[in-house]
Structure 1
Amino acid sequence: MTSETPPLKAWLLLGLLALIWGSSFLLIKKGLLGFAPDQLAAIRIASAGFVLLPFILKRFKTVQPHHWLKLICVGLVGSFIPAFLFAFAQTELPSGVTGVLNTFTPLATLIIGIALFKQTALVQQWIGVVIGLVGTLLLVTATANGDFEFNRYGLLIIAATICYGLNLNLIKHHIPDLGALTITGVSLFLVAPAALIYLLFATPFTAQVTQPELWFPLGAILVLGIIGTAMALVIFNTVVKITDTTFTSSVTYLIPIVALILGILDGEPFFIQQGVGLAAILSGVWIANRRKRQPFNTQR
């Protein structure tokens, strides 16, 4: 359907996906009101991994022996590690800012593809990366009085986008023979037991769940894992199936807008630098994803 106008169903699902993923940063913020960052990440991964199990049981037979180590790596760099990085970063960063910084993922994917997987790059793509980096710098240094003060917690989000970029390149170049739902569902399930064991035996979670004041933060985290990860994955694959990846990738531009709006509604400040940074990152992503004819080969 790449040459046809996307159906109304695709637009509605795309909007729903943007709302789900855009609100995930606010859910992290609410979850941190009652739980430590490491607990939040463990609950998120465990809930997402086990809730997807019914959807992937029949898909295990398509996984070959040479896939298992690769899928564990996908689970670690694509879900497990980023979940912890986002949780710790949001102890010092507003949810809206983390949502915008997450938009650096397409550029991180491009950089890693060029550096590690011998992809070619267009001149315009390098321009997009530079613009995106400028926007990122603005976001991690923005202050209320207009000055610039570096916030090292922003580096945790950048590290998470690098993990996402490595994950996407790993899937593209080393696991092209498995479907997206199989890769994500199986990889999440492989790391979910470790997250659950850590949560139950290395944190005071079992004692905390009996406290009524912690039920709301716990609910926010469960929604983050079950809906923000598992359900969003199903929606994402559905949109790709009825349209194409180009249309689905446009959710990249909607997520930070949703994250910022929800953050502002929750009382978070919004600085001029953040607006400029958002515009720069989105412009960089748009420029880097435009198609040109002549590639600039970086592997000389």
Structure 2
Amino acid sequence: MSNEQSSPGLISWLLLIVLALVWGSSFILIKKSLLTFTAGEVGTLRMFIAFLGLLPFSLPVIRKIERKKLPVLFVVGLVGSLLPAILFAIAQTRLESAITGVINAMTPVFVLLIGLVFFHHRIKTINILGIAIGFVGCTFIMLGGAYFDLSGVNLYALFVIAATVMYGTSVNLIKHYLTDIRSLHITAVSFTLVSPISLGYLLTATDFLDKVGANPEFLSGIAYVTTLALIGTAMALVIFNKLVKTASPIFASSVTYVIPIVAIGWGLFDGEVLNIYQIIGIGIVLVGVYLANKK
């Protein structure tokens, strides 16, 4: 490992901050997009615009990839991008963006858990403890939001958890079957493979076309989704890949701990309110994520 990798410089730290701001802002952008579009429209439109933005990266390489790997890339696009994009949007129709951003931090936990169960990864006891604590934190957030009144528990948090499970599945598939393909190309090609589903759903199963020109909020809604797609997806991936190369994968993955802080900040700025139980739950989740990733 080079000195540059073992000791992240100023540029690496700046890139990490930018990446955290970009990804942490995704949840408030979803919230604003939902003022104009349905959850299905936000998810599929986000994916299709991101596909267009990443097209210059996918076109030169898609024909060079082994045919047997294309089905895996399709599944990665489906469970690692398209379905989570829709699930996050559905969740945020009933869930605060700050809470969504915190539960999203459980992604590394599910990466470990799915690796352990389905791919026979070996992990330490401290990691298992972190996984357990993470689940306790998520439960605390859900129950605490209703002040532990079971009748008022917001089950939409389960959509976010389902999305993080899918992220965990996607990461493990990439790790086991696609290690010889650059991560940027994996993303670009996987987006290309699922783009017909995104466009098909958008045009045939939603009222998106009826909103074009008819909805006075259409342009502002498109602006939010486009920002979410091009900056929150395409640009963020470029920054992340740069970080992995110039610093290290471990340093790059530390953005996981900063994203919830940014998401909470945006939520509070937008008038969202967190009670003391949710704040405690947030702290528990972050401790769990830290222990789950501890080497």
Establish whether residue 272 from structure 1 lines up as the match of residue 276 from structure 2: yes
Identify the residue that residue 12 of structure 1 maps to in structure 2: 14
Distance in 2 (CA, whole Å) between partners of 1:241 and 1:265 is: 34
1:23-69: CA deviations, max 9, x gaps? 10000000000111101111011001121011232222431111110
Count of matched residue positions in the alignment of Structure 1 and Structure 2:
291
Shift of 1:150: 2.2
For structure 1, the residue ranges without an aligned partner over 5 or more in a row are 292-300
Paired with 1:44 and 1:142, the residues of 2 have a C-alpha distance of: 31
Q: Which residue in the other structure is 1:92 paired with?
A: 94
Aligned residue for 2:165? 162
Is 1:232 the counterpart of 2:245 in the alignment?
A: no
Percent identity, aligned pairs only, is 45
In the TM superposition, what whole-angstrom CA distance separates every residue of 1:141-194 from its partner, at most 9, and x where no partner exists?
Answer: 223757564221111100000000000001101222211111111001111122
For structure 1, which segment, 270-279 or 64-73, has the greater mean C-alpha deviation from structure 2 after superposition? Answer: 270-279
Match of 2:154 in 1: 151
Distance 1:143 1:54 in 2: 44
Match of residue 176, structure 2, among 173, 183, 208: 173
Q: Residue by residue, what CA displacement relative to the aligned partner does 1:248-299 show, whole Å, maximum 9, x if unpaired?
A: 01100000000001000000001112221111111111112222xxxxxxxx
Aligned residue number for residue 209 of structure 1: 212
The answer to whether 1:68 aligns with 2:67 is no
Q: Give the one of 201, 204, 207 matched to 1:198.
A: 201
The equivalent of 2:251 in structure 1 is 247
1:24 aligns with one of 12, 23, 26? 26
Cα pair 2:44 2:201 within 8 Å, conserved: yes
1:34 alignment partner in structure 2: 36
Shift of 1:13: 0.9
Alignment of 1:89-168 (within 5 A): 89-143=91-145, 149-168=152-171
Q: Describe the superposition over 1:123-154 as per-residue Cα deviations: whole angstroms up to 9, x where unpaired.
A: 11111011111101011222375756422111
Matched, 1:263 2:267: yes
Which amino acid is the alignment partner of residue 15 of structure 2?
Answer: L
Is the 1:94–1:268 Cα contact (8 Å) retained in structure 2? yes
TM-score of the superposed pair, with normalisation by structure 1: 0.93
Corresponding position of 2:46: 44
Amino acid at match of 2:242: T
Instruction: Give the aligned residue type for 1:264.
Output: L
Residue 223 (1) aligns with residue 196 (2): no
Asked if the contact 2:145/2:278 (under 8 Å) is kept, the reply is no
Distance 1:268 1:146 in 2: 19
Instruction: Decide whether the 8 Å contact of 1:50 with 1:192 is kept in 2.
Output: no
- Taking structure 2 as the reference length, the TM-score comes to 0.95
- Secondary structure (helix, strand or coil) at the match of 1:91 reads coil
* 1:69-93 superposed Cα distances (whole Å, 9 cap, x missing partner): 0000000000011011111111110
Task: Give, as a single letter, the amino acid of the residue that structure 1 aligns with 2:83.
Answer: I
| 2:188 matched residue in structure 1 | 185
Q: Quick check: 161-170 or 49-58, which moved more?
A: 49-58
Counterpart in the other structure of 1:56: 58
Stretches of structure 2 lacking an aligned partner (at least 5 in a row): none
Provide the rounded CA distance (Å) in 2 between the counterparts of 1:207 and 1:201.
Answer: 11
Q: CA RMSD in A?
A: 1.4
> Residues of 1 paired with 2:72 and 2:146: CA distance?
44
